[in-house]
Chains A and B, each alone.
Chain A
C-alpha cells in the first residue's frame, strides 16, 4: 500500500464516516430525548434518496402516499382524542400539519412536473415529503408507549423498521437508484483526486453538525430538548412537554436521515433496504460515543468509516468480520472508562 492508496482510502473512510456521523448524531439525539433506539433511522436515508431519484425520473414517489396516509391516520387519532376530551381547539394545528400539508404537497407534486424542477427544488421537495414522516411515526407509534421500557421501545422500533422496509420495497422496487451529483468537479489534491460530491458530503455533514450544535446551544427548542434529555421529569415540571420534545427529535432525525440519503445518492447506489446497514454503522459510532456525547459519537462514526475502508482494501471478504470484531475491544474500553451509573428502574 503506497501513500496515495492510503490517502484515497482515508478519503473514502471519511466520506462514509461523515454519513455515519450524521446518523450517529440523530440516533444519540433520539435516544437521549426519548430512550428509543431508533432502528428505522436508516429507512429515512433510503426514503430521502429514493424520493429524490423518483422526482428525477419524473415519477411520483410512494412516500407521498405514505405522507398522506399517515397524516390521515394521525388526524383520525387526534380527532378521536379531541372529541373524547372536548379539546377541539388544539385540533386545528394537528389538522393543518397532518391533512392540509400533505394535501397541498400532493397537489403540487401531482400537478407540477417534478422531473423538470431544478435540483435545489427537487431536494427541498424530497425533504418536505420525508421529514414530516418522522413526527407522524412518533405520534402514531411511540407516543402511546412513552413510559414503556427501553427493550419494548427497541422491539417496537424493529417492527417499524420491518414495516417501513416493506413499504420501501413496494414504493421503489428492489433495484437501486442514483441521483444527479450536486457537483461534477474533480479536484487534484496532491495527486489524489477528490470528487466534488465527496466534498459536498463532508462539507454538508460538517455544516449540519455545526447547525445542530448551534441549535442545541442557542435556541430555545434546542435547550428544551437538552433539558429533556438530561432529566425527563424535571423538564416536564418546567413545562417542556415530553411529547413535543419527542416529535421534534423525530423530525430532526428524519431530516438528518433524509439529508444523508440525498447526500450519498449521487456517489453510491441506494436501495430500499440500504438504510439498515448504514444505520447500524451509525449506531456503532453512536454507542462508541456512549449514546450521550455528540462529538465522541461523530468521532466513533468516522472511526467506523475508516476501519471499513482500510479493511475492504486488505481483506474485503472479511471486511464486516474485521469491523465488528475490532469494535468489541473498543466497546470494552469505552465500557470500562465510562462511569456507569445504574439506572433506577
Chain B
C-alpha cells in the first residue's frame, strides 16, 4: 500500500469512527485530537527544528482563556465585545493573541542557545500558568464556567460525536499543512536548524527567522487546541496549562517519534489510551488500595524508550513498510543563474586579517586573494589557522582587525547569509549534513537563496512550480558530482567521502562565484580523488573561483594554480605549486614535525 492510500484509509476510518465506535471511544479520540495538535507543534519545534519547549501548555492556555474570557465576560468595551458574540470570531482572536504572545516570548527566548532555551520555556511557562491563576477576571485558580458550546450551520456541537468531526478535520488539516511545510524550501530551512546554525546560515538561511516561524506555528497549533478545549470542556482553570502538562506534551512527541509529523498522532494516541487502560486495568489487579497507574506509566515509558529511542513512529513504519514514493524529480525549467565575473577578476581579497581568541592569535596579518577561474590552495600543518581563516572569510567569526573584500565590496562584519547571498558558498571540514534527509533534500538546502516563496505558499503547496525547479537544480548538482544513484538515499547511509561530495554539491546548488572547500578530498579513495579533481578543474574552467584547504599534497599540487602556506596563523609562503614545494620554510613546516 502506498503512503497516500494509507492516508486515505486513515481518513475513511476516522470518518466512519463515530458511526460505529462507542461514545467513550469518541471522547478519547477527541482528547487525542486535541493533544495531537499541540504535539504536532512540538514535533515541528523540537523534533524537526531542534528547539525543546516545555511551555506549549501555556500557549494552549492563552488560546483557551482568550475564547473563554471573550465569550463569557460581560460589560466588555464595544471594540472587543463584538468578538465574543460567537466562538467562531474568538478563534482567530485566540490564535492571533497566542501568536503575538509567542512572538514576544520568542524574541527573547529564541536567542537563547543550548540549554538556556528549554529553561527559558520552563520560565515563561511557569509564569503564564501562575498568571492565569492570579488574574481574577480569568476566574483565578477556580476557573471560568459557562463557556458556550460551538455552533456549526445551526447545529449545536454539544455532542461529542459532532465535535469529533470538527477536531479531526482540524487535526488532519494541520497534519497536511505541516507535512507540506516541511516538504518545501522553508521546511528545509527549518530542518536545517538541527544541523546547527552555522551551516544553515552559510546556506543563506535566516535561522532566527526560521526558528521564529516554527515557534509561531507551534504556538498557533497550541492555541487552536486550546480554543477547541475551551469549547469542548466549557470550563477552564489553570491546571491543564501547567508545567506538568507541558512536559507531558513533550513526552507525547518523543514517545510518538519527534522526527515525523505522524509521530504526534502516535504519541498522543498511545499516551492517552495507555493511561486510560492502566486506570481500568490496575485496580482489578491490585485492588483499589494503591495508585499504581503513575508508577506503571513511568515504567512502561522507560521500557518503550529503551526499545525505540526514536519513538514509536519509526517502529510502526518498519512493521508496515510503505512502498517508496516514486523517486522522482520532475524535469523543470532551470533556475536563473547569477551573472559570473569574467575570469581573472579578483573575487576574494583578504587584507591583513587578524583573529585573536583571548591571548591566542589564530590568524596574524593573513592576506590572500582569489580570482575568478583560479584554484587557490591554502595548505599548512594542523592547527595552522586555516579553518579559522575560512570562518573569518565566511562571516562565522568576526575579525579582530583587517579587512575582507568580496567582489569589490567589504564583507567583514556581514552575516554569513548575506555573504552567501553575494555568491560565496562553502563546505565544512566536519561534514554538516542532515543524516536522515535524502541527498537531494540536503543539496536543495544549498539552493535556498534561489527561491522566493514563503511559509504560507509552502503550507498550502502553492509554490510547487518553484519547488520543482529547486529540486531539479539540486538533482543536477548531484549528477554533476556523480551521486545520482544515491539521490533519494538518506545522507547518513553514505560513506564519509561521499558525504563530503554531497557537501560540494550543496555548495554548488547556491550557484556561487566563489567556492570555499574545507578538505574535500579527506576520506576519498584514489579514483574518487581523481574524479573530484576533474570536477574542480571543470568548474574552474567555467569561471568559478575556488579556495581550497587541503592536507593531501599530491592532490593540491596537481590541481592548484597557486598555493598559500600557513603556519602558526601566519603566511609563510605563497606562489606556484612548484615554487612552494621547494621552499625550505615549507619543507621545515611540513617535515620538521615528522622527524
Direct contact of A and B (CB under 8 A): yes
Residue contact B298 to A162, C-beta cutoff 8 Å = yes
Residue contact B299 to A321, C-beta cutoff 8 Å = no
Residue contact B295 to A335, C-beta cutoff 8 Å = no
Expressed in whole angstroms, the Cα–Cα distance for A170 and B130 within the complex equals: 29
Residues in A with CB closer than 8 Å to B254 are 151-152, 155
CB distance from A286 to the nearest CB of B (A): 9
Residues in B with CB closer than 8 Å to A167 are 295
- Residue of chain A at shortest CB distance from B134: A317
Expressed in whole angstroms, the Cα–Cα distance for A129 and B297 within the complex equals: 25
Expressed in whole angstroms, the Cα–Cα distance for A311 and B81 within the complex equals: 36
Residue contact A284 to B119, C-beta cutoff 8 Å = yes
- Asked, given contacts A145-B305, A156-B302, A325-B123, whether A342 binds B134 with beta carbons under 8 Å apart, the answer is no
Interface segment among B9-17, B109-117, B367-375, B539-547: the answer is: B109-117
Contact residues on B (Cβ < 8 Å of other chain), bracket: 35 or more
Residue A320 at the chain B interface, CB threshold 8 Å: yes
Residue contact A158 to B294, C-beta cutoff 8 Å = no
Expressed in whole angstroms, the Cα–Cα distance for A138 and B196 within the complex equals: 30
- Residue of chain A at shortest CB distance from B114: A340
CB distance from B358 to the nearest CB of A (A): 10
* 14 additional contacts (CB under 8 A) given A158-B247, A331-B123: A144-B306, A154-B52, A159-B302, A163-B295, A280-B243, A287-B119, A321-B130, A328-B123, A331-B120, A335-B111, A335-B114, A344-B430, A345-B194, A345-B435
Residue A324 at the chain B interface, CB threshold 8 Å: yes
Residue contact B294 to A166, C-beta cutoff 8 Å = yes
Residue B35 at the chain A interface, CB threshold 8 Å: no
Per the 8 Å Cβ criterion, residues 427-442 of B in contact with A are 430, 435
Residue contact A166 to B108, C-beta cutoff 8 Å = no
- Asked, given contacts A324-B127, A335-B113, whether A155 binds B255 with beta carbons under 8 Å apart, the answer is yes
Binary B-proximity of A122-161 (CB < 8 A = 1, otherwise 0): 0000000000000000000100110011011011101111
Residue contact B127 to A342, C-beta cutoff 8 Å = no
Residue A252 at the chain B interface, CB threshold 8 Å: no
Residue contact A151 to B52, C-beta cutoff 8 Å = yes
- Asked, given contacts A162-B297, A166-B291, whether A318 binds B130 with beta carbons under 8 Å apart, the answer is yes
Residues in B with CB closer than 8 Å to A6 are none
Residue A327 at the chain B interface, CB threshold 8 Å: yes
Which B residues fall within an 8 A CB radius of A? 46, 52, 108-109, 111-116, 119-120, 122-124, 126-127, 130-131, 134, 194-198, 243, 247, 250-251, 254-255, 258, 290-295, 297-299, 301-302, 305-306, 309, 430, 435
Residues in A with CB closer than 8 Å to B46 are 151
Which A residues fall within an 8 A CB radius of B? 37, 141, 144-145, 148-149, 151-152, 154-156, 158-167, 169-170, 280, 283-284, 287, 291, 317-318, 320-321, 324-325, 327-328, 331-332, 334-336, 338, 340, 342, 344-345
Residue contact B115 to A287, C-beta cutoff 8 Å = yes
Residues in A with CB closer than 8 Å to B258 are 151
Residue contact A324 to B122, C-beta cutoff 8 Å = yes
Residue contact B115 to A148, C-beta cutoff 8 Å = no
Residues in A with CB closer than 8 Å to B294 are 162-163, 165-166, 169
Residue contact B115 to A291, C-beta cutoff 8 Å = yes
| Across the A-B interface, the 10 shortest Cβ-Cβ residue pairs | A163-B298, A166-B295, A166-B294, A162-B298, A159-B301, A340-B113, A324-B123, A155-B254, A324-B126, A335-B116
Residue contact B301 to A162, C-beta cutoff 8 Å = yes
Residue contact B251 to A287, C-beta cutoff 8 Å = no
Residue contact B119 to A283, C-beta cutoff 8 Å = yes
Residue contact B130 to A320, C-beta cutoff 8 Å = yes
Residue contact A170 to B134, C-beta cutoff 8 Å = no
Residue contact A141 to B302, C-beta cutoff 8 Å = yes
Residue contact B309 to A145, C-beta cutoff 8 Å = yes
Residues in A with CB closer than 8 Å to B297 are 159, 162-163, 166
Residue contact B309 to A324, C-beta cutoff 8 Å = no
Residues in A with CB closer than 8 Å to B309 are 145, 148-149, 152
Residue contact B298 to A331, C-beta cutoff 8 Å = no
Residues in A with CB closer than 8 Å to B52 are 151, 154
Say which residue of B113, B122, B251, B435 sits within 8 Å of A280 (CB atoms): B122
The CB with the most chain A CB atoms within 10 A, among B108, B127, B435, is that of B127
Residues in B with CB closer than 8 Å to A331 are 109, 112, 116, 119-120, 123
- Residue of chain A at shortest CB distance from B295: A166
The CB with the most chain A CB atoms within 10 A, among B52, B112, B250, B435, is that of B112
- Residue of chain B at shortest CB distance from A317: B134
Say which residue of A159, A284, A318, A332 sits within 8 Å of B305 (CB atoms): A159
Expressed in whole angstroms, the Cα–Cα distance for A182 and B197 within the complex equals: 53
Residue contact B112 to A320, C-beta cutoff 8 Å = no
Expressed in whole angstroms, the Cα–Cα distance for A300 and B243 within the complex equals: 22
Residue contact B302 to A160, C-beta cutoff 8 Å = yes
Residues in A with CB closer than 8 Å to B127 are 320-321, 324-325
Expressed in whole angstroms, the Cα–Cα distance for A164 and B298 within the complex equals: 8
Expressed in whole angstroms, the Cα–Cα distance for A38 and B184 within the complex equals: 37
CB distance from B519 to the nearest CB of A (A): 15
Expressed in whole angstroms, the Cα–Cα distance for A328 and B112 within the complex equals: 10
Residues in A with CB closer than 8 Å to B134 are 317-318, 321
Residues in B with CB closer than 8 Å to A163 are 294-295, 297-299, 302
Expressed in whole angstroms, the Cα–Cα distance for A166 and B293 within the complex equals: 8
Residues in B with CB closer than 8 Å to A37 are 115
CB distance from A41 to the nearest CB of B (A): 15
Residue contact A328 to B124, C-beta cutoff 8 Å = yes
CB distance from A328 to the nearest CB of B (A): 5
Residues in B with CB closer than 8 Å to A145 are 305-306, 309
Residues in A with CB closer than 8 Å to B130 are 318, 320-321, 324
